[in-house]
Amino acid sequence: MKTPAHTRRIIDRLETQHPGADTELRYRNAFELLVATILSAQSTDARVNLVTPALFARYPDAKRLAAATAEELEPQIHSTGFFRAKSKAIAGMARMLVARHGGEVPADMDALIALPGVGRKTANVVLGHALGVPGLPVDRHVLRVANRIGLAEGDDAELVERQLGAAIPRARWTLASDLLILHGRRICKPKPLCQQCVVRDDCDYVRALDQERGEKPRRGAHGPRRVRTPRR
Ligand code: SF4
């Protein structure tokens, strides 16, 4: 695994490839981002962005959403997939926000993950982007890219969050996650576009391929490592 200093240099370099990296979900406040992030599971941000304007116009806050039934919500979010489970989740989440937090989204990990449909990744997205609390969401893109480069090891999201969090300053956690997600969507796809990648000289995956082919290791290599891409 890379040293913390090397990890930080790699994150800096990724920033040059993806300037202005941010979540691609559209939202105006923490409540909207929380709903949008729940809807984005097993979907795409672009698809979620198509349904949320009408949804937020109809249910502008937790109180209004809490009054809706899951059945009423289903047709409105149908196209995001898993609409029955998501309808139950966002209606239940809104009811709990009203019951426990006066309708406000709490800026606290434990309180967030107690809400229906909210896991650690969703909580970190909302904390980091909408509530000013550093959060490092780890999704399948972060897992894949971080393991390939050698910034982290393992396919357990919480473990990878800890490994990245230990190497990257708290103030850069959210940006680092956004950079790794965008890199995974645009360049380090399941079939990676390594020729277009700004960190290829630092990447364990590329080094392992070079070594398999019997080529000289690239600049920045620190010895062989078997790279396993998580299955998520
Ligand atoms: S060099 Fe290839 S495998 Fe490594 S991070 Fe870049 S795109 Fe991914």
pLDDT tens per residue across all 232 residues of the chain: 999 999 999 999 999 999 999 999 999 999 999 999 999 999 999 999 999 999 999 999 999 999 999 999 999 999 999 999 999 999 999 999 999 999 999 999 999 999 999 999 999 999 999 999 999 999 999 999 999 999 999 999 999 999 999 999 999 999 999 999 999 999 999 999 999 999 999 999 999 999 998 876 555 433 344 555 554 4
Q: Compute the distance from residue 227 Cα to the ligand 1 centre, in Å.
A: 12
Contacts of 201 (CB under 8 A, 6+ apart): 218, 219, 220
Which residues are marked as active site?
121, 139
Domain spans, the chain: 4-20+138-212, 30-130
Helix (H, G, I), strand (E, B), or coil: what is residue 229? Answer: coil
pTM (two decimals): 0.90
DSSP state for residue 99 in the 8-state scheme = H
30-130 CATH: 1.10.340.30
Does the domain spanning 4-20+138-212 belong to CATH 3.40.50.720? no
DSSP annotation of 201 reads G
Does the Cβ of 83 fall within 6 Å of ligand 1?
no
Report residue 26 as tokens.
């559209």
User: How many angstroms is it from 139 CA to the middle of ligand 1?
Assistant: 17
Helix (H) or strand (E) holding 144: helix 140-149
Q: Measured between alpha carbons, how far is 186 from 171 in angstroms, rounded to an integer?
A: 24
Sign of CA dihedral 137, 138, 139, 142: positive
Residue 14 in contact with ligand 1 by CB distance below 6 A: no
Task: Give the position, in ligand 1's atom list, of the atom nearest the Cα of 200.
Answer: 1
Ligand 1 centroid vs 218 CA: distance in angstroms?
A: 13
Which residue pairs, CB below 8 angstroms and at least 24 apart, start in 54-59? 56/28, 56/32, 59/94
Which of the listed residues 197, 202, 228 should we mutate to test ligand 1's pocket, taking the one with most ligand atoms within 8 A of CB?
197
